[in-house]
Amino acid sequence: MAGFDLEHYLVHCRDLTNKALDDALYPGGDGDPGRLREGMRYAVLNGGKRMRPVVTIATCEACGGTPQQALPGCCSLEMVHAYSLVHDDLPAMDDDSERRGKPTVHVAFGEGPAILIGDALLTRAFEVLATGEAAYGPVLAQAVVILAREAGIDGMVGGQALDMQHGQGITELGVLEQVHARKTGALYAAGGAMGALLAGAEPKTVEAMRTWGLKFGIAFQHADDVLDDDQVALRPQALARVDELVAECNALAEPFGDKAAALHALAGWVQKRAHTAAAGDLAQD
């Protein structure tokens, strides 16, 4: 596993995902009422690290699948992620005017259209997932349920509500992690589970990969907090937790041997990201 080229792997996964997203967000279709189709493409294809698809591909490969098998999961997950960012940027939520170095969707397209663009991305995500190749069979229905659960009230949407309820007032790491687990961890958990499912894994393995994604996602959010200079009082505890979460991710990946090389490399990446940012050496992207 030593010598795994993560940089190359990230570029490969991003390229595959970007091509599939470009196809899934077709520019033609039945006209473009309210420029919604244009706005959906703007929201999704305007950059982004594509880390959730990378996790989906890496868990799929750990379970013996190919990157292509993971793509319906990658696209649907990235569309749900993009919808959440569009809605989170709205004046009623974070009121941000820039994302990924460009005007946010509501600035570029208007507030009403931005709500609809988010809605259309969410529904298109499930259409793309559910109409994946027939070869997947009943697995697609299970993937739909996983994504719905992790994106919904018991996952990302519930996490956003918790976050709004707490505001800046969180003083305990355990409470912060409850928010992180739902708001950010849930979509990574969906990526882990869908990658395994689309590779044809058994339920026990799907659950192990879901847990891998969840732990990775929480660590990712701790790193993001450091990058954004958030939750400063809890930082030493959060950095210690990143180390624990990464060790737990590696233990979960261990039984998969060399096929889990990407999972080990990703765990190392998030750990380095958090600690390098804390040392003040990593700028936010």
Residues that bind ligand GRG (CB under 6 A): 48-49, 51, 84-85, 87-88, 100, 156-157, 160, 183-184, 221, 224
The pair of structure tokens assigned to 232 is 């400063």
Q: CB 113 → ligand GRG: shortest distance, Å? A: 16
User: Which CB, 18 or 184, lies closer to ligand GRG?
Assistant: 184
For 34, 113, 209, 249, the CA distances from 108, given in Å and listed in that order, are 13, 10, 38, 39
Q: Which of 121, 246 has the CB closer to ligand GRG?
A: 121
Minimum distance from residue 233 beta carbon to ligand GRG (Å): 18
> Given its phi and psi angles, is residue 90 left (phi above 0), alpha (psi -120 to 50 degrees) or beta?
beta
* Residue 208 CB, nearest approach to ligand GRG (Å): 23
- Supply the minimum distance, in Å, between the C-beta of residue 8 and ligand GRG: 19
- Residue 239 exposed, middle or buried by CB count within 10 Å (0-12, 13-18, 19+): middle
Residue 122 or 199: the one with the smaller Cβ distance to ligand GRG is 122
Residue type present at position 145:
V
CA dist 221 and 270 (Å) reads: 9
d(CA 101, CA 201): 39
* Nearer of residues 87 and 241 to ligand GRG, judged by Cβ: 87
Shortest distance, CB of residue 96 to ligand GRG, whole angstroms? 9
Q: Which is nearer to ligand GRG, 140 or 181 (CB)?
A: 181
Query: Which tokens go with 263?
Result: 């999972």
Contact 147, 129 (CB under 8 A): yes
